[in-house]
């Protein structure tokens, strides 16, 4: 779960950094169903942009703004993993071995999303070396 928190934070940091540049013409629908254009906040402080826009963006619409294909994005996999009804309806009925296999699948997807997020939306490369995630400097 922590991987998805880090992913969302990194994507929003990227938007904050690039909102007046290559993302200025982008538009997003916020959780309150209000549509805003980043260029409308060009002269606003980072704090105002964070409070009025970034904090009201879901991971799914954050990815949409950045042009991440929903079938490749982290939001659907995060929702699948975290949705409590998924566990109650299906995974609870699995054997311990099947649940373990399912957990490994969730983990591998999260790790893949995390590596891709840092590769595409960060200046800090994140690699997997000997089974460990390592930030390169």
First-residue to last-residue Cα distance in the chain? 25
Give how many domains the chain has, as a whole number: 1
Question: Is a pLDDT exceeding 90 seen at residue 50?
Answer: yes
Rounded Cα distance between 62 and 130, Å, is 31
pLDDT in tens, 33-47: 889 998 898 889 999
How does pLDDT run across 18-28, given as a tens digit for each residue? 999 889 888 89
Q: Mean pLDDT for the chain? A: 88
Q: How far apart are CA 102 and CA 72, in angstroms?
A: 19
Q: Which domain holds residue 20?
A: 2-135
User: Residue 84: is its pLDDT beyond 70?
Assistant: no
């Amino acid at each position: 779960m922590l991987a998805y928190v880090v992913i969302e934070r990194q994507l929003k940091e990227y938007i904050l950094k690039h909102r007046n540049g290559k993302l200025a013409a982008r538009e997003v629908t916020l959780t309150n169903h209000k549509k805003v254009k980043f260029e409308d906040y060009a002269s606003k402080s980072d704090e105002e942009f964070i409070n009025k826009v970034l904090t009201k963006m879901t991971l799914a619409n954050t990815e949409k703004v950045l042009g991440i294909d929903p079938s490749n994005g982290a939001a659907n996999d995060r929702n699948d993993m975290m949705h409590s009804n998924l566990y109650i309806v299906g995974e609870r009925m699995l054997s311990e071995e099947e649940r373990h296999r399912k957990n490994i699948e969730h983990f591998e997807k999260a790790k893949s999303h995390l590596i891709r997020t840092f590769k595409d939306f960060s200046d800090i490369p994140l690699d997997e070396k000997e089974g460990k995630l390592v930030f390169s400097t």
